[in-house]
Structure 1
């Protein structure tokens, strides 16, 4: 099977425990579109953006999400939530299969520093397989600003990148451009689902492997039900989008050892001159 139906739920949420509302919305989406295979929700949609709401790995929310996936027979990517591991807190996206098994868990590599305080960066990229369909990768919000994340997911075989987001700032227009760039430079579907209401300004976007916009949402609640064609991804990678650039092949065949990756960002005198990563202060 190369066609796979995904619904992004752009929900108008408040800063509170939204679990019951999310479970209800998943049920409504599957009832309206019984052909759905997967549901994806925005970043920190479950409990909001405060680390005070962090849960532990044995919290009942994970079984409730598993039950939601099982009852609706969908793959469920329920946005993200803060998960405490000892003294560390990670912005974490779990993934559940239609049998209710948690098959993956991703910790956001690039917290939105210095604004996202008290959050420890993750250290590993995350992919998982949908049997008979293909390989999916997961990233979260600010990760999209760093091309290394999506490139690594493509290197790991991802054909679709699922990207829960919580953006409520004026750079959302730029992020839409980044979603398209991540899609085309890695020849993947890029499913960027924002929240709406008090927590986000919406404008979720699904992009195809040529950077084309499959659908862009407005700023209010919206159910974005689309059918992804992974055979289209494979053809683009083989022949180029509309017979044009074969990006991943060119990257594979390039023999340049880029110093930024060989030596690391810390070795750059130019980057060292940028100063400490802190909140901007008021100009005098």
Structure 2
């Protein structure tokens, strides 16, 4: 049973960690993520978000390679290192990880806090060759209750589906952490607008959610990554970033989650969630409740 919701502090500092994992270099990737998270915590961050597949890298050659690099969550060495980090620093951490569950593989995120392991999110919408290696997520869209507020998670391509942000908001989320490995989209130029930014901004504004996107940088096995991590406030305005396109970077922003909930009331008449026409479309888009966390 989930505990009663604690009242969040008026403002917290959140951090997006933009880093450059190397394919297969799990120990080195985790060590680098710990260094960057320690720096973010030293600068006041209470929540730290790492990129998608931050421990393994992204461009697997085969399912066999992905399986060999994946780990059980929370029992594996990457999970244990990140959980110990969150406990030691007294922070909340969301970290993209390749999860092995029996003979199944998931593109997942570990959620940990000052008291240890909190839960796992598994990516619902697989992109490109991920379909060759991973199973689609089967844990739904859980919301994790923390002392900071209520936390949802989406991974990369999940953000292309407005249902993800809407359902997380309806389930009470205040903030959505987005570990991601954005790649250039068709028609996107190196110095032009990023489609991922538009989608994160729209999801934040339309649902009154703070959205913390942590991307990776670099080129891996010929695939370039966009970088340009972003933190979006609950009104849809950029709170920090975009980060650079080609180097590691830490973004920090102060967010007031209690005020953000009130900010869903746009004026005397309009509220971004209550104005939905549920006589015309299903209030929860036909979605079932999120499964209980294991």
Number of the residue aligned with 1:87? 103
Deviations 1:9-39 (A, max 9, x none): 11133222211111122122223x1x22111
Structure 1 counterpart of 2:15:
7
Alpha-carbon distance between aligned partners in 2 of 1:26 and 1:208, rounded to the nearest angstrom = 21
Match of 1:43 among 48, 52, 69: 52
Larger radius of gyration: 1
Q: Which residue of 2 aligns with 1:233?
A: 260
- Residues 44-83 of structure 1 mapped to structure 2, 5 A cutoff: 44-49=53-58, 50=60, 51-52=66-67, 53-57=69-73, 58-78=75-95, 80-83=96-99
* 1:179 aligned onto 2:200: yes
**Scaled by the length of structure 2, what TM-score is found?**
0.80
Alignment size in residue pairs: 255
Greater per-residue helix proportion: 1
Q: Using the alignment, how far apart are the partners of 2:228 and 2:135 within structure 1?
A: 28
Taking a change above 3 Å as real, the CA distance of residues 134 and 106 of structure 1, as seen in their structure-2 partners, is: same
- Cα-to-partner distance string for 1:228-273 (whole Å, 9 max, x where unaligned): 1113312212x31x7784211112x531135x9569xxxxxxxxxx
Contact 1:88 1:119 in 2 (8 A): yes
TM-score, with normalisation over the residues of structure 1? 0.83
Match of 1:250 in 2: 275
* The one of 19, 32, 40 aligned to 1:21: 32
Change (3 A) 1:114 1:11: closer
Q: String of CA shifts for 1:137-156, please: whole Å, max 9, x gaps.
A: 11100000111111111111
Measured at CA, do residues 247 and 54 of structure 1 come closer, stay the same or move farther in structure 2, by a change above 3 Å?
same
2:98–2:107 CA contact under 8 A, matched in 1? yes
1:145 corresponds to which residue?
Answer: 160
Structure 2 gaps, min length 5 = 1-8, 61-65, 189-193, 288-294
Which residues of structure 1 form unaligned runs of 5+? 264-284
- Contact 1:41–1:77 at 8 Å: present in 2 too? yes
